[in-house]
């Protein structure tokens, strides 16, 4: 343990997307509700109410399976803008408590509460106050974990759900984690769990006392991470973000497809949305990543590092299209899901002087397009390629409604 003992809080909203829908439509409260798409659609569950979880439903489960397990559930497509608004209000409440705040996703954040005892008496009281404000102002439930490090705080909040609060006393980290099944430990996915089970390890406690060398033999450097995590050791700091780390869009198709024009049109549309996001946030990206999922759910990502940072739709699309061509040449199976992301972000403006004249022209063009779209809706301007999507995705003034609208758009 470090000489300066930290107190970390992990906060995560319960059934976030669903809960936001329930606030807007009280008829949904107390019922099995799923946000993710139409019943039996081809997307996956993004969020399931706790009433739906009783039937085995969980995030990531194909909607078809969810529908089979719980046909009486209410399936909602969802609306990302509503979740973004709720998330901003949630983070604003947390920011009232401390600037030492690291949002991890829309509904999840770490707080460094070290030293806050002097204000609240007990950190537990601070957590109660946060939960209360979230409930009063957003009508949402937040679950909280308090511990000496990030990973233990996260496991604690997860375990406390719904509407929970667990504080792990300093020195109790190992005994808190020990009885838990491996799957509860962040970073332990299905494959890792499977290998560990093969070694006769089924609980975090058993993992914690497995010799480091044995873990390194099976997992390489990741073995060390496993060993540390299982022992409740995590030296990561709470890092208030300077900015978002990436921007991305993805969707599942109605039918698996090999149609290159459709794949390219979708990629073009997403590149435009990602580009618009970057420009709105005043960011430029250095890395473009293509994501493809095939019918059997195997998923690949392929990345390309650009010679110059960019916020241009065209540059993002060009990089994505190249990655796509390469991937399609290697893999002939039909595609279930496609996505594109831009990462390694830097503040715009830092490199503008270095742009050549054609890049400058593109920049001005993009700005003009953004202005028109802000005024008349995203699909007011369409490139030839994306108009192909008209026949495939329903369109609203603000763009195409994708099959995983809660995640994308
Ligand atoms: P989570 O916090 O993982 O899930 P949750 O808030 O729905 O449920 P709980 O925390 O009570 O277990 O994710 C937050 C939101 O992120 C979730 O409401 C929907 C979205 N999400 C997806 O869209 N896809 C996913 O695979 C996951 C895990 C979450
Ligand atoms: Mg949550």
Whole-number pLDDT of residue 399:
72
Split at pLDDT 50, 70, 90, the class of 351 is very low
| Distance between CA atoms of residues 18 and 49, nearest Å | 6
Whole-number pLDDT of residue 218:
92
| Distance between CA atoms of residues 315 and 335, nearest Å | 23
Write down the catalytic residue from 108, 167, 250, 272.
108
Whole-number pLDDT of residue 242:
63
What are the tens digits of pLDDT across the range 10-69?
A: 999 999 999 999 999 999 999 999 999 888 788 899 999 999 999 999 999 999 999 999
What are the tens digits of pLDDT across the range 198-223?
A: 999 999 999 999 999 999 999 988 89
Residue 2 has pLDDT above 60, yes or no: no
Whole-number pLDDT of residue 28:
97
- As to burial, measured by CB atoms within 10 angstroms (0-12 exposed, 13-18 middle, 19+ buried), residue 391 is exposed
Whole-number pLDDT of residue 349:
63
Split at pLDDT 50, 70, 90, the class of 352 is very low
Q: Which residues pair with 300 in a beta bridge?
A: 292
Q: In what order do the strands lie in the sheet with 74-76?
A: 47-48, 33-35, 74-76
Residue 16 backbone phi and psi in degrees, to 5: -55, -60
What's the mean pLDDT in 78-94?
94
Task: Look up 272 and say whether it is catalytic.
Answer: no
Low-confidence winner among 24-33, 339-348, 362-371 (lowest mean pLDDT)? 362-371
Whole-number pLDDT of residue 4:
66
Pocket test for ligand 1, best of 33, 59, 339 (most atoms within 8 A of CB): 59
Whole-number pLDDT of residue 192:
93
Q: Which helix (H) or strand (E) holds 289?
A: strand 283-294
Cα separation values, 98 from 43, 109, 180, 230, 240, Å: 37, 12, 31, 29, 11
Q: Which atom of ligand 1 is nearest to the CA of 60?
A: 26
User: For the chain, what is the radius of gyration of the CA atoms?
Assistant: 23
What's the mean pLDDT in 356-385?
75
Which tops the pLDDT comparison, 390 or 265?
265
How many other C-beta atoms lie within 10 A of the C-beta of residue 303?
Answer: 14
DSSP of 41-103: -SSB-SEE-HHHHTTT--TT-BHHHHHHH-TTSEEE---HHHHHHHHHHHHHHHHHH-S-EEE
Split at pLDDT 50, 70, 90, the class of 353 is very low
Left if phi > 0, otherwise alpha if psi is -120 to 50, otherwise beta: which for 53? alpha
Whole-number pLDDT of residue 167:
98
Whole-number pLDDT of residue 409:
36
Which residues place a Cβ less than 5 A from the ion ligand 2? 12-13, 16, 107
Residue 287 backbone phi and psi in degrees, to 5: -125, 135
How many other C-beta atoms lie within 10 A of the C-beta of residue 84?
Answer: 11
The CA 252 to ligand 1 mean position distance, Å, reads 18
Residue 408 has pLDDT above 90, yes or no: no
Helix axes 357-376, 260-281, angle to 10 degrees: 90
Which tops the pLDDT comparison, 308 or 172?
172
Residue 343 backbone phi and psi in degrees, to 5: -140, -170
Return contacts of 347-350, CB within 8 angstroms, 24+ apart: 347/243, 347/282, 347/283, 347/284, 348/278, 348/279, 348/282, 348/283, 348/284, 348/311, 349/282, 350/284
Split at pLDDT 50, 70, 90, the class of 406 is very low
Cα separation values, 127 from 188, 265, 381, Å: 28, 47, 47
Ligand 1 in reach of 23 Cβ (< 6 A): no
The CA 136 to ligand 1 mean position distance, Å, reads 22
| Distance between CA atoms of residues 183 and 79, nearest Å | 30
108-112 vs 74-76, strand pairing mode: unpaired
How many other C-beta atoms lie within 10 A of the C-beta of residue 331?
Answer: 13
How many other C-beta atoms lie within 10 A of the C-beta of residue 14?
Answer: 19
What are the tens digits of pLDDT across the range 239-297?
A: 887 656 789 999 989 899 999 999 999 999 999 999 999 998 888 999 999 999 998 88
Whole-number pLDDT of residue 396:
67
Which tops the pLDDT comparison, 19 or 79?
19
pTM, 2 dp: 0.67
Whole-number pLDDT of residue 99:
87
Residue 347 has pLDDT above 90, yes or no: no
CB of 388 closer than 8 Å to CB of 261: yes
What are the tens digits of pLDDT across the range 102-161?
A: 999 999 999 999 989 888 889 999 999 999 999 999 999 999 999 999 999 999 999 999
Q: Which helix (H) or strand (E) holds 241?
A: none
Q: Whose CA is nearest to atom 8 of ligand 1?
A: 15
């Amino acid at each position: 343990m470090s000489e300066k003992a930290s107190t970390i809080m992990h906060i995560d909203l319960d059934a976030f997307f669903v809960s936001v829908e329930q606030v807007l439509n009280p008829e949904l409260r107390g019922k099995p509700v799923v946000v993710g798409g139409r019943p039996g659609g081809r997307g996956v569950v993004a969020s399931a109410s706790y009433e739906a979880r009783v039937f085995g439903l969980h995030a990531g489960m194909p909607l078809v399976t969810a529908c089979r397990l719980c046909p009486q559930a209410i399936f909602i497509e969802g609306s990302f803008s509503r979740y973004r608004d709720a998330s901003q209000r949630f983070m604003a409440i947390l920011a009232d408590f401390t600037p030492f705040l690291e949002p991890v996703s829309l509904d999840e954040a770490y707080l460094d509460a070290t030293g806050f005892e002097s204000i609240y008496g007990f950190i537990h009281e601070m957590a109660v106050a946060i939960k209360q404000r979230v409930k009063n102002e957003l009508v949402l439930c937040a679950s909280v974990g308090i511990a000496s490090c990030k990973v233990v705080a996260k496991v604690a909040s997860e375990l406390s759900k719904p509407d929970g609060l667990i504080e792990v006393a300093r020195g109790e980290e190992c005994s808190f984690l020990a009885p838990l099944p491996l799957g509860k430990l962040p970073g332990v996915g299905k494959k890792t769990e499977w290998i560990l089970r093969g070694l006769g390890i089924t609980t975090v406690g058993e993992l914690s006392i497995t010799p480091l060398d044995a873990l390194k033999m099976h997992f390489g450097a990741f073995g060390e991470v496993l060993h540390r995590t299982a022992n409740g050791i995590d030296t990561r700091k709470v890092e208030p973000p300077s900015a978002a780390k990436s921007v991305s869009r993805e969707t599942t198709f109605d039918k698996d497809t090999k149609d290159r024009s459709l794949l390219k049109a979708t990629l073009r549309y997403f590149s435009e949305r990602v580009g618009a996001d970057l420009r709105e946030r005043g960011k430029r990206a250095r890395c473009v990543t293509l994501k493809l999922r095939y019918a059997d759910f195997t998923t690949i990502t392929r990345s390309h590092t650009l010679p110059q940072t960019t916020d241009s739709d065209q540059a993002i699309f060009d990089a994505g299209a190249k990655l796509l061509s390469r991937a399609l040449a290697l893999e002939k199976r039909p595609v279930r899901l496609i996505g594109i992301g831009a990462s390694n972000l830097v503040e715009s403006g830092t490199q503008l002087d270095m742009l050549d004249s054609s890049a400058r022209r593109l920049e001005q063009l993009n700005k003009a397009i953004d202005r028109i779209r802000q005024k008349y809706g995203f699909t007011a301007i369409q490139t030839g390629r994306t108009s192909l999507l008209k026949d495939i995705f329903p369109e609203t003034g603000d763009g195409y409604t994708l099959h995983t609208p809660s995640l994308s758009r």
